[in-house]
Structure 1
């Protein structure tokens, strides 16, 4: 027997497979392991809707804040600044400043202005409205994904489903507390706004209705700690969370958790200008429509840093910081469907899948040995190597194994052995024709190669398409099938060829084709 490059590569592949599959097979503390999907370890399945109309209102409100800041910074007098769901309206008191304002508004994407005398009305084009709605869904997907990644869950699935829905699957959620925490983190708007308190009217806030407040361009907001306490603040914010660049958990002088936040350069300029012009007044720090604090402005605050204090636990402060860092949702989301998969159901799925895998694997092994004798044993060695290699590659990349992924492994077993069935049949045909063993082996692999490549490449293309256009569990099936196909090309073709090269002289010398290939020589 003589070593050849094929057998060396095959041996190295087996060693690689054993080393990197051990952490997953034995569930060791160290080493990279395969992550079990929602259907195998239990978790939470949710279908979310997005209120895209609210994204338009949010964008309009942001434009109104920009108009106010532009007027304040350039000492342009405006009056009657109001906004609704579709437009911003205000009057420029000095007609000579109309052109400056028109130039400023023309830089806003998709904006359409209508000037009647000194009154400017800004709306968005229908194309821009659709663009904002689409962006709200895309941004919600990215924001939710970022939040869940920072939350610490392994391989959360967040994907668009249909035109305006979002599918969220969280594996490993096992308790009601974990589920509640995840749902709150996903649904939290995390909309930060810095709003000026209407000092002239705030004393009358408890005798005002929302309609009364709106007549002054104000809005009534509750205190986050005590909802009975009310604040009257100007509806148009000084700035919002879109200018936030960071948020982290800190501790105040009494060692209570707080959120330290930082603004970008534009936000820092606006913050500095406002605080410089409003010394002695109050600035409300508003998060999701609740006032967390309303400190007095004692001096101009530069640097663009601020702090949100509240009665949180460390865990609540951490989740809030995650929500702020990942960005506010442009539009609120709502729960359309929720389904919990218990760990026991996941365990049942694993048990049923393992029975199918082991049963199918055992039947294939028995059939190959009975029908092909030693050629079947060689094919089975390649099959075992293929499975070990598949597990190793999935472990190395920390892939998630789902129930369809298990089905992909079962399918891989059939496809891997199919290649050796074709090769063995080709070799048997050539032996019947009286070819020498060397010729039978070489021509057998050569003749079988086109059929094997055609089958594997077409299946691989199908798997790639499933991965690109599929979601969640479909991707899991595509991944395992793709890795299995590539691994089988190495084990079932290169590996078995190397074994035959190693045993060629021994087979030729024995002439016992019944023993080696299950046929009469």
Structure 2
């Protein structure tokens, strides 16, 4: 019979009300966005500058989730960066020297004295004073080689150790270089994502392109240069032993050392050991703070491994200076006064509060393993996005009006029910997109327009089936009941196949294709709900009140 239980009616109307309530903030987008940004700033500990007034622009008891606007609608910055994977080879080779040195020192009776030789950055050359023992030295250094951790490098080792007269030559194997390239790009991708997410931008698009390139699109950023400031710094933090000071950048440093400029002292250069004691990779936390003189600084904390190395070094080198190096510049070079246990410390310098905060974000997100070269950069103005929004709005309104008129002219009263369900359907789409934090792009608007046209398909199937049942002299109630019952399988089949297409587009596509797939998939779910449940409930309520003897569909 044509009946719907009370609990089902309550559930259907509750879902509709909840969906429309979630969609409501999108009708007041600028006000709600200002409220969200101000609330986030207040939670982060900021105050003043009208934040309280902006936070009060939207009632706190109402939902405040918005559909994020994509780069083509909101404007923002677009970057295409190439990861300089070769930088990692040099860093890796440089870090091998302490291990090779300590290993050969244990065999000094055989190999004699050892000395690091100038060489190409991608290889390590160590000269021994006993050439006859060169094979013994090579065999000893080969014990440092480890299996390559990758599917393509199965069975290979990471180091190639050979002899060249009285020198041991160490290079990275080809398999290790390939594995290193893959790890470097993936690590860069993740660190860029963490850095951008930490500064509160909305729904960035960060994805790999090709072997060593990364595409970065961030809506709401004022310019490409602003985006480069966030992600363009490698933020490689190291703690290096100090060999000496100089005023000449070309001062002789000696094998295994390097000349690094001072950040704060103009014309001052430090001669440092290239092999660091601890690196920023062993940091677990970094927070903006103030030093004992009230100046902005950054406090940091190491993981257990880094804390142990840092503590051992400070215990063995009391009275000696060590340098805190950030991106090949010495921030400070304090003298070790005592054993620093616990693995925590503070970085001081001529920072502003904003600079110390940004540095803490960069260190906390992690150091980029290699430099980035920006091959392409574009800034998309909000005016272009506004034009897209207006064009999309006009397209939606035209499609909406055309469908409403068609349904009313074709099905009369039942067409009005379908039109009300269509309006609810559009609200539910925006409510669902707001709930999951989806990003709306221009192709996404196209998906909504397509959904508006498809949303009435289910109602057309039902209404046509009701017409067929009425022609067989069925009663009104029975015809309506059979119409929904017999059209159900066709509705589900048609929408499942379309939903599968949306899933494939989302899984295989990227950027605009995904935006289209998201809105299409959301529209399918909401249109099926409104067609099967909402319109049927309205028809049932109408029938219970009117009890018509005949029916014109």
Structure 1 length-normalised TM: 0.88
2:49 aligned partner: none
Task: Give the length in aligned residue pairs.
Answer: 505
2:494 aligned partner: 455
Q: Indicate the larger mover: 255-264 or 133-142.
A: 255-264
The Cα shift of 1:112 comes to 2.6
Note the alpha carbon deviations across 1:163-192, whole angstroms, 9 max, x for none. Answer: 322111111123x5xx54431121110111
Q: Structure 1 residues 183, 308: closer, same or farther in 2, change over 3 A?
A: same
The Cα shift of 1:104 comes to 4.7
Partner of residue 161 from structure 2, selected from 86, 89, 114: 114
Note the alpha carbon deviations across 1:446-470, whole angstroms, 9 max, x for none. Answer: 3322322222111111111222222
2:36 aligned partner: none
Partner SS, residue 80 of structure 2: strand
2:216 aligned partner: 168
Alpha carbons 1:34, 1:395 under 8 Å: kept = yes
Q: Structure 1 residues 378, 60: closer, same or farther in 2, change over 3 A?
A: same
2:451 aligned partner: 412
Give the alignment of 1:42-57 within 5 angstroms.
Answer: 42-57=75-90
Q: Indicate the larger mover: 453-462 or 117-126.
A: 117-126
2:538 aligned partner: 499
Partner of residue 308 from structure 1, selected from 337, 341, 347: 347
1:143 aligned partner: 191
1:125 aligned partner: 173
Alpha carbons 1:40, 1:350 under 8 Å: kept = yes
Alpha carbons 2:76, 2:382 under 8 Å: kept = yes
Cα distance in structure 1, aligned partners of 2:438 and 2:368: 29
The Cα shift of 1:474 comes to 2.3
| Alignment partner of 1:79 is 2:81 | no
Alpha carbons 2:21, 2:431 under 8 Å: kept = yes
Alpha carbons 1:466, 1:475 under 8 Å: kept = yes
Alpha carbons 2:125, 2:169 under 8 Å: kept = yes
Note the alpha carbon deviations across 1:8-52, whole angstroms, 9 max, x for none. Answer: 333122211222222222344242222222222221111111111
The Cα shift of 1:246 comes to 1.5
| Alignment partner of 1:22 is 2:58 | no
| Alignment partner of 1:196 is 2:232 | no
Higher relative contact order (CA 8 A, sep 6+): 1
The Cα shift of 1:306 comes to 2.8
Q: Indicate the larger mover: 309-318 or 55-64.
A: 55-64
| Alignment partner of 1:4 is 2:5 | yes
Give the alignment of 1:278-357 within 5 angstroms.
Answer: 278-357=317-396
Q: Structure 1 residues 73, 7: closer, same or farther in 2, change over 3 A?
A: farther
Cα distance in structure 2, aligned partners of 1:74 and 1:173: 58
The Cα shift of 1:501 comes to 3.0
Give the alignment of 1:128-277 within 5 angstroms.
Answer: 128-174=176-222, 176=223, 179-199=224-244, 202=245, 205-207=246-248, 209=250, 212-213=252-253, 215-277=254-316
Alpha carbons 2:241, 2:323 under 8 Å: kept = yes
Q: Structure 1 residues 24, 119: closer, same or farther in 2, change over 3 A?
A: same
Q: Structure 1 residues 33, 411: closer, same or farther in 2, change over 3 A?
A: same
Partner SS, residue 246 of structure 1: strand
Cα distance in structure 1, aligned partners of 2:276 and 2:267: 22
* RMSD between aligned residues: 2.9
Partner of residue 479 from structure 1, selected from 518, 529, 532: 518
The Cα shift of 1:91 comes to 6.0
Alpha carbons 2:248, 2:269 under 8 Å: kept = no
Alpha carbons 1:113, 1:120 under 8 Å: kept = no
Alpha carbons 2:476, 2:551 under 8 Å: kept = no
Cα distance in structure 2, aligned partners of 1:93 and 1:277: 29
Partner SS, residue 510 of structure 2: coil
Alpha carbons 1:285, 1:292 under 8 Å: kept = yes
2:51 aligned partner: none
Partner of residue 67 from structure 2, selected from 23, 31, 34: 34
Alpha carbons 2:103, 2:140 under 8 Å: kept = no
Partner SS, residue 468 of structure 2: helix
Cα distance in structure 1, aligned partners of 2:369 and 2:530: 51
Note the alpha carbon deviations across 1:440-494, whole angstroms, 9 max, x for none. Answer: 2233223322322222111111111222222233222211111111111111112
Alpha carbons 2:257, 2:273 under 8 Å: kept = yes
Q: Structure 1 residues 352, 208: closer, same or farther in 2, change over 3 A?
A: closer
Cα distance in structure 2, aligned partners of 1:2 and 1:459: 30
Cα distance in structure 1, aligned partners of 2:391 and 2:105: 69
Cα distance in structure 1, aligned partners of 2:307 and 2:343: 4
The Cα shift of 1:230 comes to 1.3
Alpha carbons 1:40, 1:347 under 8 Å: kept = yes
